[in-house]
Structures are given as structure tokens and as C-alpha cells.
Structure 1
Amino acid sequence: MILCITHSGDYYNVDLFSAYLKSKDIPFFRLNSDHINHLQKISIDQDSFELTDEHGNMVSSSDIKGVWNRKAWSITVPEDMDEDYHRIFINEYSCLRYNLITTLEHLPWINPYEAEKKIDGNKIHQLRTARKNHLCVPETLFSNDAEKIKSFFYRYCNGKAVAKLHGVMSKSMAGEHMLSTMIIEEDSLESIGDIAYCPMIFQPYIEKSYELRIIYVDGAFFTGKINNSENADWRIANSQYSWSAYELPEDICRNLSAMMREMGLCLGAIDMIRGKDGNYYFLEVNPQGEWGMLQKELNFPIAETIADYLIKRINIHE
């Protein structure tokens, strides 16, 4: 059996994955990470766990042979719970969830849990690793210091920068609920003093020809190109553009593969831009990033490739 850790609002990608497993007669269990709470019955001992999900489906850890950590989500708190108990509820169920996950750590994972956790929350580490592997990376500052930000702006940004909150992620392929990447020009620096309450990542604005969303699966690349040269981020104006298939240069594939191996990731959604200067700039990798739009619009077999990789790892493990 393959366990897929996702959330209750995730369908298209997971449905493709589970349908492919069904075609190969491989059992599949969907675990909604946001419902690892009072909606599920969970018991963990020193060696194993048993779980009954919100729909009455049962699974034992002894049946699980591999794990796809598709998309972890925040644990849902009951609407009628007193706010004084929210922190205790979330803390204890988060602890329960982590104990459940570590029960399975000896199995094949996509991606290995601890490796993914380190990369997913550390943009500066990502950029450092990318540069080490010969990828072009914009100068970057993560700061809450207004004077340091001004100094960075005048030194590197040539009158225009981008600023982004590190922890804000899109909840959908269309970019809904996502705080837009912001353009910073010289007159914006007058109000930069409030940065003390909300540190942000700053980079020079790069004049670009187009953006790339690259899905990496164990050395295979599925790359979509979107002709967004006007907006700071394609997700802001996703409906204005369509995706087209793109062939990455061999040296970029080689360097990205080396970077992903060093990060310990076998799967990730990589964002790059092609600058008008001809360079390919690495921006970030999201181990749980979206790729459904590329499979839907470009017929890329991404779900099938992920499943095949995990099946191969399970067979080797056994």
C-alpha cells in the first residue's frame, strides 16, 4: 500500500496519482493532514500505528510500503472550540502527527521527510546550494533592518527591487489567497521602517523574457514556460497566459540535478526566469509545489512518473 499525505481540498493531482496506482493494482490510502485531529481515530505504540480516517477507512502502518508526502496542511480546529484551547489542541495533534510520521521513516518517501523539512523552510539555504552548483542566483537579503535594506537597494537593485514574504504560499494553482510579490522602487523606501514588524526577502528586479515552472522527478524534467514579462510573479496574472512546453539546456539540467541531489530531494517544483540578458536565474524550489496545470495543459505524465519512482524505490527496499 502507498500512503499519500495531502489535505482535504486537494483533488486533481492526487486523483491522477491514485488512478494510476489502481491501474497497476497497487493499494492506495489518502491521509488528509488537516484532519489529523478529532475527526480521525489514531493509536500509536512503540512500533506501529492504526488509524481510522474521517470517512471510516482504516489503515495500519504494517500495510504501508511507501509514502508520498504530497502536501502537508495546517491542522483544522473545531469551530465550536473555545479559543483558549486552540494552542493546546494544535500542539498536541501536531505532536501526534509527527509521531505518526516518524513511525514510517524507515520506508521509501517522496521526499524524505527531514530533508524536505529543511529545504522547504529555508530560502537562503536553497539559494546558497543553487549557487554552489553553478546556477545563477540573484543577490538576496532577508532582513528586518531598514538601513540594511536601503543599503542593499542602492548597491544591487538599480532603482527597482522585489520584496516577498518568506512564509506565504499560494493555496491554489490560480494563486488565490496568495500575497503578491511586491515591487519596491526608491519612493517606496520612505515607508520601509515598518519592516521591523515583518521581515521580508529582497532581490533586484530582473528584466525577464519569461518564467519557467520546472518539475523535477529523480532526474526527469517537465518544464512549462509562461510568457509573463510584465508582472513580478506569473501567479498574479495566471489567467492572462497559457503554458507551453520548454526544453531546458543540458547544463541547466545538470546543475539542477546536482542541486536536488545535494538537497536530498527526488521531487520538487523549481521556479526560474530567463532574463533579457540571456541568463537563467534560479529563484526557489518548493518540494510540495504545484504541477497539475502542467499535466492538464501540456499532457506531461508527472503523476505517473512520481508513482513509478516510488514503486521502484519500494521494490528496491523490499
Structure 2
Amino acid sequence: MSHKVLCLTHSQDYYVTELVDASLAALGLKMVRMNTDQFPLNIQISAMQTNQGINGTIEIDGVRHYLSDFVAVWFRKNQHSNLNSALTGETLSQATKESTAAKNAVLYALESIFWFDFPFDIQRAENKQLQLILAKKCGLTIPNSLLSNSPDAVRQFFDNENGHLITKMLTPLTTFMHNPKAFVYTSKVNREHLSKLDSLKYCPMQFQQEIEKAYELRVVFVAGEFFTGKISSKTAVSKQSLDWRSTEHPHLCWKPYQLPDTVCQQIRLLMARLSLNFGALDIIRATNGDYVFLEVNPCGEWGMLQKELDLPIAQSIARCIKNNVNTGLSHE
């Protein structure tokens, strides 16, 4: 019997996939990489359903893999099919739509095996409002938050927070962090912005209380384990920037950090409520000592923490997959 793990990612994703590939190999599992943006031009999939069951294949780079070969799926990224080199206009639009639907239909035929994590769980967990609701219920501190397309509501919220307000989008414009020009970072709302909110009615945004921070934390959660990096207070990001991802400071550095047990337990409860084995959380340590939850990214980036702090995140991901394969756990 083959012991293959299907990795769903995209053609520009390298560093962390190589880390997990090596870690899976060390545990006796073979990773098969599928660049989702390269289907259908460079990948062929087929699935046959009968009353006796389903069988199918995925052919990548001339190598055919049977669906029955896979014991787990690592859901890293899933991009739309890229047919721009072959089609144009309405034909391109419809073919892209159909290709994406076909790809997802075949991949979801693997529902009975273990997913790290399952797409429907990820989609639900990406809801920022749900995250805040559940985080509060799990005991985490959250910032006062407003989701709105009403200029009047935003102005009132601005006054309530004495002008200490930030804004951010509900969804990212990119699926990976190597294209900063296409990424809209957290930004401060100033009083002069309040007279320029007319376009808000076309695009609702998230507004939050600006937390006075001592420092920022990126917390990577893997099946109950925590890998935490603190952005050094000596860098340009500590207090001058609202979003560490937007800095171009050449000396941006991370330091290892140990979260309090109470905060870890609250995060474990949150991740269980979100049905996630993995998440990259953004947390602020406020100047008053509070740990303030901002958001969790179900497919968030973590390579910088493994690279800079030598944290064994890839090994933990591989171990989680291996353990669930061995115990026969599957998505319910």
C-alpha cells in the first residue's frame, strides 16, 4: 500500500513545502505536490463514481497517482486555475470557473481521509467576525471592533475610541506574502479620513480599537503545540508600524517567546471551536499587560519563525499528519 500525502499549494510556494516534504519523508510518508494554479494545463484528474464506490487518478508531471494511494491531504493553498496563456474573454472566464469546480469536486472525493485542514472548516474559520465572537467566549481579550459600510457609524466609533482607531480588510488580496504591493495592511484612521468615507458604502471594512502595544507576537498553533515569535522591540516595527508585514526595515528580527499557560489554553479552546489543527495567530501584548487577540490565519505563514528561530514547525505538522494516519482519524 502506498503512503502518500497530497500537498495542495501553488507554483510560487517553496520554502515551507520543502521543509514539510523532508519531515514527512523522515516519517515514512511521501509528499505529492499539486500546484493548484497549474490545473488543468499541466495536471490531469479523473474520477469515476459507481454504486460500488469512487476511484480516480491525478496525473502530475507525467506521473499517475491513484486517489486510493493517498492517506492524508495537507491543504496549504488552493488557487484558481490559471488558463491565461491559453484562453481569453468569456471562454477564459467560464473555463476557469469549470476547472475550479472540477478540481474541487475530485479533491473532495478524498473527504474520508485526514485533512490538515479540511477546506470547509478553513472557509468557516476565515470569518473574522466569528473569530472574535469565539475568541471572546474562550476567554481571550479582543479589541473593540466594528464591521460597517456606514460612514456615520465609523465616525461615531472614532469618537468613542478618542481617535485611536485602525482599519483593515476582511480578506487578503494575495494568497501569499511575497507580493507586498498587492497586500493591504492595517492602517491608522485619522480625523481627516472621516470626511472621505463615501466609498465605504461600496466596500465594507473592519475597524478596530487601536491597542497601545508593548510588542507583537506571531503564534503558530499545530495540533495543541505552540511556536511563538516576538518581534524585537529594537526594530522599526515595534511601535511605529501597525503591521509588522509592511515594514521594509533591514533588521526585522524575531525572538523566541513563551506564552502563559492560561493564554495557551484559551487558544486551544478557540482552535477546537474553529475545528482547526493549524493556525497562525496575531496577538498584541498591550502596555497594560493584556494579551489581545487580533486574528487567526488558517493557512498563515510560518516559515520565518522556523528559519529565524529554528522552531520545528514543519516537523510538528508532519507528526500531526502521521499520527492521524496511524490512528485512522478522518474528517467527520
Q: Which runs of 5 or more residues in structure 2 are unaligned?
A: none
For 1:231, the equivalent position in structure 2 comes to 241
Q: State how far apart, in whole Å, the 2-side matches of 1:28 and 1:265 are.
A: 21
2:162 is equivalent to residue 151 of structure 1: no
CA contact (8 A) 1:174 1:235 kept: no
Residue 175 of structure 1: how far off its partner (Å):
4.2
The residue matched to 2:182 in structure 1 has which SS? coil
CA–CA separation in structure 2 for the residues paired with 1:92 and 1:6: 19
Q: Please identify, of 79-88 and 171-180, the stretch whose mean Cα deviation from structure 2 is larger.
A: 171-180
2:312 equivalent to 1:307: no
For the pair 1:105 / 2:111, whether they are aligned, the reply is yes
What aligned pairs does 1:1-318 form with structure 2 within 5 A after superposition?
Answer: 1-46=4-49, 47-53=54-60, 55-120=61-126, 122-155=127-160, 157-169=161-173, 171-172=176-177, 175=180, 177-226=182-231, 227=233, 228-237=238-247, 239=249, 240-317=251-328
Flag structure 1 segments of 5+ consecutive residues without an equivalent: none
What CA distance in whole angstroms lies between the structure 1 residues aligned with 2:241 and 2:267?
A: 25
Cα distance in 2 between the residues matched to 1:75 and 1:185? 40
Aligned-partner residue type, residue 270 of structure 1: L
- CA 1:303–1:169 in 2, change beyond 3 Å: closer, same or farther? farther
CA contact (8 A) 1:158 1:204 kept: no
Distance 2:74 2:46 in 1: 21
For residues 243-298 of structure 1, the C-alpha deviation after alignment (integer angstroms, 9 at most, x for no partner) is 00000011100000000011100111011011112111101111100000000000
Deviation at 1:207, TM superposition (A): 1.2
- 2:76 is aligned with what amino acid? R
Does the 8 Å contact 1:49/1:103 carry over to 2? no
Residue type matched to 1:30 in 2? Answer: R
Instruction: Return the TM-score normalized by structure 2.
Output: 0.91
Q: Mean Cα displacement is larger for which, 21-30 or 255-264?
A: 21-30
Give the superposition deviation at 1:57.
2.5
RMSD value, Cα: 1.6
Pairwise CA distance, 1:87: 2.1
Compute the displacement of 1:188 (Å): 1.1
SS at match of 2:197: helix
Could you tell me how far 1:48 is from its partner in structure 2?
2.5
Task: Return the alpha-carbon distance in structure 2 between the equivalents of residues 142 and 57 of structure 1.
Answer: 48
Alpha-carbon deviation of 1:41?
Answer: 1.3
Structure-2 change in CA distance of 1:26 and 1:221 (3 Å): same
- Whole-Å separation in 2 of the counterparts to 1:77 and 1:245: 43
Residue identity matched to 1:164: K
CA contact (8 A) 2:45 2:103 kept: no
Matched residue SS, 1:72 = coil
Distance 1:86 1:163 in 2: 35
Deviation at 1:34, TM superposition (A): 1.1
SS, match of residue 40 in structure 2: coil
Report how far residue 193 of structure 1 moved.
1.3
Q: Equivalents in 2 of 1:180, 1:279: separation in Å?
A: 23
Normalised by the size of structure 1, how large is the TM-score?
Answer: 0.95
- The residue identity in structure 2 corresponding to 1:162 is I
Shift of 1:117: 1.4
Q: Secondary structure at the match of 2:165?
A: strand
